[in-house]
Amino acid sequence: MLNIILLIIVGSMLGRNKVVMKFFSDKVINNIFAILSFSFLLLTGYSIGSNPDVMDNLATMGLTSLLLAIGAILGSSIVSKFINKLKS
């Protein structure tokens, strides 16, 4: 957790430097993100696929857990949208 906070702080301090930002234009950063997030998701797929705890129980508990996750996401999304509408 500390690593993540430190990386965000270092990144945002460097982002204030004009010389650094000249090199990392929005287009470059978007391309970096596209490549890195593709590989990150690929590795996530690999680590989930090779995790026996997840794969062995998918048949018995998969549907229940999927529904629970969708419920939580829909719940949070609907509450947020409702609050946003109330305020604006």
Partner 1 sequence: MKDLINLILAFSVGLNMAFLFPQISFFEEYNLFMIILYFLIFFCGLSMSGSITLKELKNCLKLKRLMIPVLAIIGSVGGSFILAITFLNEINIMDAIIINLGLGFYSFSSIFIGQHMGLSMGVLALLTNVFRELIVMIGSPVIARYFGSTALISSAGATASDSALPFIRRYLDKTELIDAVASGLVLTIAVPFILQLMVMAF
Q: If DSSP codes are grouped into helix, strand and coil, which group holds residue 16? A: coil
Distance (Å, whole) CA 78 – CA 3: 32
Which of positions 41-70 make contact with partner 1 (CB under 8 A)?
A: 41-50, 53-54, 57-58, 61-62, 64-70
Q: If DSSP codes are grouped into helix, strand and coil, which group holds residue 88? A: coil
26-49 and 52-87 helices, crossing angle to 10°: 140
Rule CB under 8 A: say whether 38 interacts with partner 1: yes
19, 22, 26, 59: residue in contact with partner 1 (rule CB under 8 A): 26
Rule CB under 8 A: say whether 31 interacts with partner 1: no
How many residues touch partner 1 (CB under 8 A)? 63
Closest distance between partner 1 and the C-beta of residue 82, in Å? 9
